[in-house]
Amino acid sequence: MKEYILALESSCDETACSIIKLDGTLLSNIVSSQIDTHTLYGGVMPEIASRLHIENINFVIKESLDKANIQLDEIAAIAITSGPGLIGALHVGLQAAKTLALTLNIPLIPVHHLVGHIYANSYVKENKYPCLAIVVSGGHTELVYMKKEFDFEIVGSTTDDAIGEAYDKVARILGLGYPGGPKIDKASKEGKDIYKLPYPHANGKYNVSYSGLKTYVNNFVHNTKAKGEDININDMACSFQHRAIEMIVDKAMDVIEDYDVKQVVVAGGVAANSYLRELISKRMEKYNDIELVLPPLWCCGDNAAMIAKAGLSLYKRNYFASLDLSAKPSWSLLDYKVNE
Ligand code: AMP
Ligand code: MG
């Protein structure tokens, strides 16, 4: 009996494989992170990421099968992140997925990486529509409205830097190192929101802008140091975190007021942020008829369990790709036409 889906993810700096049963039970979730290597360079080096994916992918697949205690001939389909992401990195997972699909003679399911992040929430609660997904990651900051499953409208987004990117850059300015998100989040808990940072407004009712905030912190830190004065790193981290998170949460609340929403989910690496989780929970308290779902912390960073969950939904719709499937490094959600 073929009753499992094998999912692969290699869009950035995590090589991951997961096995899910067709009834939705997650059997294994193996993630090999390259973070230690990229930390040496202060950020993800695309060429090194591709090489490490090539070195690791077969071990990750093997370990995932072993953990799930199943054989390759029990797999019904292969789900694969085919974009967006780093092109060389995507190609490694894609080629492995296509080889498995070809040799096992089973379907290939193309999964949009951000849809995977959105589906991480379904490990907590079933998706409910209309749904607003607050997508916050290293490369994306989008307010995605879904009237029904796989129906995407981007109602708001960043007009410049992604929120995770701003976190990483500000962490570097503050000397906190890479990756910046968790470091700022931790420092923030030791600090107070005492710095009067600006709240830049973007054009467009539901849009946000992060580059002005980042540049302000940069200039403030340099000017203060030039005067021979000290910055309190924990306080600055706290003030930055408060402004950065308030900006996106404020816009999400505007969408909730203006649109018909039954469920709000948070998706992407920044969904792990403690202040984001606290603030959105507090702001949502007054909406008795709207469900808030936060992804489990183990499913916020890149992983294949989320790709498996999205893949399972797509499998049930017979949404398959042919073996000439290619990587789509800048794939927009608007071009993910599952319902057509
Ligand atoms: P992703 O692009 O989905 O792989 O997520 C990676 C991004 O999430 C990076 O920019 C990280 O700095 C950021 N990130 C991870 N954990 C946190 C956190 N606790 N707070 C803020 N940002 C975070
Ligand atoms: Mg991601």
95-111 pLDDT per residue, tens: 999 999 999 999 999 99
The pLDDT mean for the chain works out to 97
- CA–centroid distance, 269 to ligand 2, in Å, is 6
pLDDT tier at 134, thresholds 50, 70, 90: very high
**Ligand 1 atom with the shortest distance to the CA of 269:** 5
Q: Determine what percent of the chain is predicted with pLDDT higher than 90.
A: 95
| pLDDT tens-digit series, residues 243-264 | 999 999 999 999 999 999 999 9
Claim: this prediction has a pTM higher than 0.95: yes
- CA–centroid distance, 134 to ligand 1, in Å, is 14
Q: Determine what percent of the chain is predicted with pLDDT higher than 70.
A: 100
pLDDT at 213: 97
| pLDDT tens-digit series, residues 213-244 | 999 999 999 999 999 999 999 999 999 999 99
Which residues have CB under 8 Å from 140's CB, separation 6+?
Answer: 114, 157, 162, 268
Residue with tokens 């995605």: 144
Tell me how far apart the alpha carbons of residues 306 and 111 are, in angstroms, rounded to a whole number. 10
Tell me how far apart the alpha carbons of residues 294 and 193 are, in angstroms, rounded to a whole number. 25
pLDDT at 42: 82
Beta bridge partners of 19: 6, 28
Query: Taking 90 as the threshold, does the pLDDT of residue 1 lie above it?
Result: no
pLDDT at 108: 98
CATH superfamily, region 4-118+300-335:
ATPase, nucleotide binding domain (3.30.420.40)
Give the three-state DSSP class for 72: helix
Pocket residue to mutate for ligand 1, from 140, 270, 302, 307, most atoms within 8 A of Cβ: 270
pLDDT at 57: 98
pLDDT at 9: 98
Q: Domains of the chain: which residue ranges? A: 4-118+300-335, 126-294
Tell me how far apart the alpha carbons of residues 122 and 127 are, in angstroms, rounded to a whole number. 6
- CA–centroid distance, 178 to ligand 2, in Å, is 16
DSSP states of 225-253 as a string?
HHTTPPP-HHHHHHHHHHHHHHHHHHHHH
Tell me how far apart the alpha carbons of residues 135 and 332 are, in angstroms, rounded to a whole number. 13
4-118+300-335 against 126-294: fold identical: yes
Query: Taking 90 as the threshold, does the pLDDT of residue 272 lie above it?
Result: yes
Fold of 126-294: Nucleotidyltransferase; domain 5 (3.30.420)
CA angle in degrees (0–180, nearest 5) for 319-324-325: 50
pLDDT at 208: 98
Q: Does residue 270 have its Cβ closer than 6 Å to ligand 1?
A: yes
Tell me how far apart the alpha carbons of residues 288 and 284 are, in angstroms, rounded to a whole number. 8
Q: Which helix (H) or strand (E) holds 58?
A: helix 46-68
| pLDDT tens-digit series, residues 33-62 | 888 888 888 888 899 999 999 999 999 999
Tell me how far apart the alpha carbons of residues 178 and 176 are, in angstroms, rounded to a whole number. 7
CA atoms lying within 13 Å on the CB side of residue 281: 10
Query: At residue 79, what are phi and psi to the nearest 5 degrees?
Result: -100, 135
Q: Does residue 168 have its Cβ closer than 6 Å to ligand 1?
A: yes
Strands 263-267 and 131-136: parallel
Mean pLDDT of 134-158: 97
Beta bridge partners of 28: 19
Query: Taking 90 as the threshold, does the pLDDT of residue 281 lie above it?
Result: yes
* 156, 207 contact by CB (below 8 A): yes
